């Protein structure tokens, strides 16, 4: 409902392209720019990085010069190259983990919503159990016991993260499962898999996409936190989290070195959040219109 007098809309519409049929907000455009730049850097790292990931090219903590734009790190490796390769590891890992956690979480969440009370109770209790322990400590224990190989890291974080996806997708699916077209499919005799895949999933996409963006950020920060504690990506591979850890003491000596990877993490998080905010806004637009 709106009053009869309308606030005139800003007339810069031609500046703002559309995505999914909705005009992008200014922040969303900034977000997309940040994310695209990061992804390009990650994908092209081996070609655009001036030096190798772990090549020692000079003295430790050398100042920036025309060949080494950001200077050298604690072992004399080129910081810019490490940043680019770090983007590759950090973003790639986050993406794989988020995809995996979503596959697990959505499947379990939808199954809990439609497959009947007992499966729902079982899955929900398991998830409650996992959520009752702080995630970082849970991961800490598992990784300490099983070691810090990349596959172990991926599966551990994905499983822990899928509990949150589970809760969202179960709630979303519960709302859809009571609608009559789902009942019609049940009455037709359709199996569980069809109901999940054809009836519920296509209608649950908008909130899940928004959540994907958020979880991607959290995963990113989580890996950074684990790397910072020495349980994430292992040397000599670069990743932004472990770079912050390795360089952290230099901040006391007046060097900006640890701020570069930390800033990159912050920037990407902000960028993704801008896009997610916009997606949530266009998703919620459809609601509340009926008076």
Partner 1 sequence: MSARSSDGDILVVDDLRIDVVGDRGKGPCLVDNVSFALKRGEVLGLIGESGAGKSTIGLAALGYTRLGCSITGGQIVFKGKDIRRMSAEERRMLRGSGVAYIAQSAAASFNPAHTIMEQVCEVPVRHGIMSSEKARAEAVQLFRELDLPNPETFGSRYPHQVSGGQLQRAMAAMAMAARPDILVFDEPTTALDVTTQVEVLASFRKLIREHGTAALYITHDLAVVAQIADRIMVLRRGKMIELGNAGQILLSPREEYTRRLVAERVSGHSFLPEQQGEPPLLTVDRVSASYAQLVKVIDNVSLTLSRGDTLAVVGESGSGKSTLARVIIGLLPRESGDIKFRSESLTPRLADRNKDKLRRIQMIYQMPDVALNPRQTLYDVIGRPVRFYFNRTDAQVRARVHELLRQIDLPESFASRHPGELSGGQKQRVSIARALAAEPDLIICDEVTSALDQLVGEEILRLLKRLQDELRVAYLFITHDLGTVRRIANKVAVMRKGQLVAGGDTATVFAPPYHPYTELLLSSVPEMRRDWLDEVLAKRKAAPAGAALRPA
Where on the chain is the footprint of partner 1 (CB under 8 A)? 1-6, 9, 13, 23, 179-181, 183-184, 186-190, 198-199, 202-203, 288-289, 291
Task: Tell me how far apart the alpha carbons of residues 61 and 255 are, in angstroms, rounded to a whole number.
Answer: 9
DSSP assignment string, 142-154: HHHHH---HHHHH
Which CB atom, from 19 or from 150, has the smaller least distance to partner 1? 19
User: What's the min distance (Å) between Cβ of 129 and partner 1?
Assistant: 27
Which CB atom, from 93 or from 182, has the smaller least distance to partner 1? 182
Residue 260: strand, helix, or coil: helix
User: What's the min distance (Å) between Cβ of 282 and partner 1?
Assistant: 11
CA distances from 16 to 23, 29, 147, 209, 235 (A): 6, 8, 48, 22, 43
Give, in degrees to the nearest 5, the angle at Cα 237 between 150 and 142: 30
Which CB atom, from 195 or from 231, has the smaller least distance to partner 1? 195
Which CB atom, from 99 or from 184, has the smaller least distance to partner 1? 184
User: What's the min distance (Å) between Cβ of 109 and partner 1?
Assistant: 18
User: What's the min distance (Å) between Cβ of 99 and partner 1?
Assistant: 22
Which CB atom, from 177 or from 272, has the smaller least distance to partner 1? 177
Task: Tell me how far apart the alpha carbons of residues 171 and 194 are, in angstroms, rounded to a whole number.
Answer: 19
For residue 23, give the H/E element and its range. Answer: strand 22-23
User: What's the min distance (Å) between Cβ of 177 and partner 1?
Assistant: 12
User: What's the min distance (Å) between Cβ of 161 and partner 1?
Assistant: 27
Task: Tell me how far apart the alpha carbons of residues 128 and 212 are, in angstroms, rounded to a whole number.
Answer: 21
Which CB atom, from 13 or from 60, has the smaller least distance to partner 1? 13
- In this structure, are strands 18-19 and 22-23 parallel, antiparallel, or unpaired? antiparallel
Task: Tell me how far apart the alpha carbons of residues 245 and 167 are, in angstroms, rounded to a whole number.
Answer: 33
Give, in degrees to the nearest 5, the angle at Cα 74 between 71 and 77: 55
């Amino acid at each position: 409902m709106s009053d009869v007098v309308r606030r005139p809309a800003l007339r810069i519409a031609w500046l703002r392209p559309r995505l999914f049929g909705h005009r992008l907000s200014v922040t969303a455009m900034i977000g997309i720019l940040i994310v695209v730049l990061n992804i390009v850097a990650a994908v092209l790292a081996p070609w655009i990085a001036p030096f190798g990931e772990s090549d020692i090219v000079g003295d430790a903590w050398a100042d920036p010069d025309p060949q080494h734009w950001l200077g050298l790190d604690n072992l004399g490796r080129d910081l810019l190259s490490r940043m680019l390769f770090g983007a590759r590891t950090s973003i790639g890992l986050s993406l794989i983990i988020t995809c995996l956690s979503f596959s697990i979480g959505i499947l379990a969440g939808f199954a809990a919503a439609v497959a009947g009370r007992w499966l729902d109770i079982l899955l929900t209790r398991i998830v409650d159990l996992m959520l009752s322990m702080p995630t970082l400590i849970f991961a800490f224990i598992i990784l300490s016991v099983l070691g810090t190989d990349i596959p172990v890291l991926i599966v551990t974080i994905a499983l822990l993260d899928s509990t949150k996806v589970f809760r969202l997708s179960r709630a979303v699916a519960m709302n859809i499962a009571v609608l009559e077209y789902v009942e019609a499919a049940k009455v037709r005799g359709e199996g569980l898999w069809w109901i999940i895949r054809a009836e519920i999933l296509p209608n649950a996409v908008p909130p899940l996409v928004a959540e994907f963006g958020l979880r991607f950020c959290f995963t990113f920060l989580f890996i950074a936190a684990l790397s910072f504690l020495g349980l994430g990506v292992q040397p000599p591979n670069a990743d932004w989290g472990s770079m912050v850890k390795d360089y952290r003491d230099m901040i006391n000596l007046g060097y900006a070195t640890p701020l570069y990877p930390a800033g990159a993490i912050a920037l990407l998080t902000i960028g993704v959040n801008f896009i997610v905010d916009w997606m949530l806004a266009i998703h919620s637009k459809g609601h509340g219109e009926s008076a």
